[in-house]
């Protein structure tokens, strides 16, 4: 049995996936930290441990993500746009639009029926519309990031957050706290702001169903629901959302053997 690996080295986390000819065998996640190359090695080692494999059992390794050129031992480096598209199509072949919301950037991809990217757009210049934006806001409101999305959906109203800059939005949130605006309404407003910003970016490409959300922020139910509302499309989030790029990289690694 042949095995193939994909490592998605992002700005905040690193994901490793191992495939065989039929399915995902194992996956692992670690924080990128200061030494991202070591983090990539740790994530791959952990995925191998979970699969009961050794490094020499892996025929090909492809690196992707923000730090793809720092993945040790990679046979090839491929952009995260290509890998997220490939992974999304493999997981759910009806996918025609992919929105990847990572820690420091966000991207939108239009796919054809074969899962190839026909158009894309990305925001990598500003933290607004990313996981970092949510982290900053959760810290300002002294709320656990894990419960942030649930709290957003419970609010009876959504506060108006007008700034599209993370720094200014944080100041705006602090002002609303001082004015006595309920915390859950501020949280809902924050989620609405990030959803509107991402939707505005993605609307520059053709949006067709099915729309899949990938990346770590895909697990925030508030962002996913409000993004669907802003786009006017139903969105799909799979359990493998955070590993989609690594899955795509592993699929490409498998093709290197063909």
Same-domain check for residues 84 and 115: no
Residues spanned by the domain of 79: 1-92+241-258
Residue showing tokens 């991202």: 36
Asked if residue 175 and residue 207 are part of one domain, the reply reads: yes
> pLDDT by residue for the chain (258 residues), tens digit each?
899 999 999 988 999 999 999 999 999 999 998 899 999 999 999 999 999 999 999 999 999 998 999 999 999 999 999 999 999 999 999 999 999 998 888 999 999 999 999 999 998 666 667 788 888 889 889 999 989 999 999 999 999 887 767 777 788 888 898 899 999 999 999 999 899 989 999 999 999 999 999 999 999 999 999 999 999 998 999 999 999 999 999 999 999 976
Query: Could you tell me the sign of the dihedral formed by the alpha carbons of 182, 186, 187, 191, in that order?
Result: positive
In sequence order, the β-bridge partners of residue 101 are 106
Which pLDDT value is given to residue 123? 84
Same domain for 198 and 117, yes or no, is yes
CB 145 within 8 A of CB 138: yes
Domain count, the chain: 2
Sign of CA dihedral 105, 95, 246, 29: positive
Map residue 128 onto helix, strand or coil. Answer: coil
Q: Are 110 and 216 members of one domain?
A: yes
102 and 156 assigned to the same domain: yes
Q: Which two tokens stand for residue 116?
A: 């190839």
- Provide φ and ψ at 176, rounded to 5°: -70, -35
Pair 164, 248 in one domain? no
Instruction: Please indicate, yes or no, whether residues 123 and 185 belong to a single structural domain of this protein.
Output: yes
Calpha distance 61→225 (Å, rounded): 35
Give the global pTM.
Answer: 0.93
What contacts 109, CB < 8 A, 6 or more positions away? Answer: 81, 84, 85, 97, 98, 99, 100, 117, 119, 120, 205
| Whether residue 28 sits in one domain with residue 151 | no
Task: Give yes or no: residues 135 and 49 share one domain.
Answer: no
DSSP assignments along 163-222, one per residue: --SHHHHHHHHHHHHHTT--HHHHHHHHHHHHHHHHHHHHTTS---S-EEEESGGGG-HH
- Are residues 232 and 119 located together in one domain of the fold? yes
**Residue 62: both structure tokens together:** 């492809």
Nearest to 7 by CA among 52, 40, 53, 55: 40
Q: Are 70 and 14 in contact (CB under 8 A)?
A: no
- Whether residue 88 is found in the same domain as residue 101: no
pLDDT of residue 128: 63
Count CA atoms closer than 13 A to 213's CA, side-chain side: 26
CATH number of 215's domain: 3.30.420.40
Q: Helix, strand, or coil here: 94?
A: coil
| pLDDT number for residue 114 | 93
Res 167: pLDDT? 72
Ordered DSSP codes for 29-65:
EEE--S-HHHHHHHHHHHHHHHHT--GGGEEEEEEES
Q: Supply the pLDDT for residue 208.
A: 95
Residues 57 and 145 in one domain: no
Could you tell me which residues are beta bridge partners of residue 97? Answer: 110, 211
């Amino acid at each position: 049995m042949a095995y193939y690996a994909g490592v998605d080295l992002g700005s905040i986390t690193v994901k490793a996936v191992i495939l065989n000819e039929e399915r995902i065998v194992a996956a692992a996640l670690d924080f990128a930290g200061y030494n991202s190359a070591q983090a990539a090695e740790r994530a791959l080692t952990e995925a191998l441990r979970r699969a009961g494999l050794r490094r020499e059992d892996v025929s090909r390794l492809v690196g992707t993500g923000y730090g793809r050129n720092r993945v040790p031992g990679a046979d090839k480096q491929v952009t995260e746009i290509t890998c997220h598209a490939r992974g999304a199509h493999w997981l759910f072949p009806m996918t025609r639009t992919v929105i990847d919301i990572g820690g420091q950037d966000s991207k939108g991809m239009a796919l054809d029926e074969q899962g190839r990217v026909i158009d894309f757009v990305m925001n990598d210049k500003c933290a607004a519309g990313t996981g970092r934006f949510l982290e900053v806001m959760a810290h300002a409101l002294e709320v656990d990031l894990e419960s942030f999305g649930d709290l957003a959906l419970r609010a009876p109203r959504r506060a108006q957050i007008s700034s599209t800059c993370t720094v200014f939005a944080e100041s705006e949130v602090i002002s609303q706290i001082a004015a006595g605006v309920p915390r859950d309404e501020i949280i809902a407003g924050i989620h609405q702001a990030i959803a509107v910003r991402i939707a505005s970016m993605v609307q520059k490409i053709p949006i067709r169903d099915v729309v899949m959300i990938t990346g770590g922020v895909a697990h925030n139910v508030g962002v996913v629901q409000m993004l669907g509302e802003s786009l006017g499309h139903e969105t799909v989030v799979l359990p493998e959302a955070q590993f989609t790029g690594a899955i795509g990289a592993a699929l490409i690694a498998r093709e290197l053997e063909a």
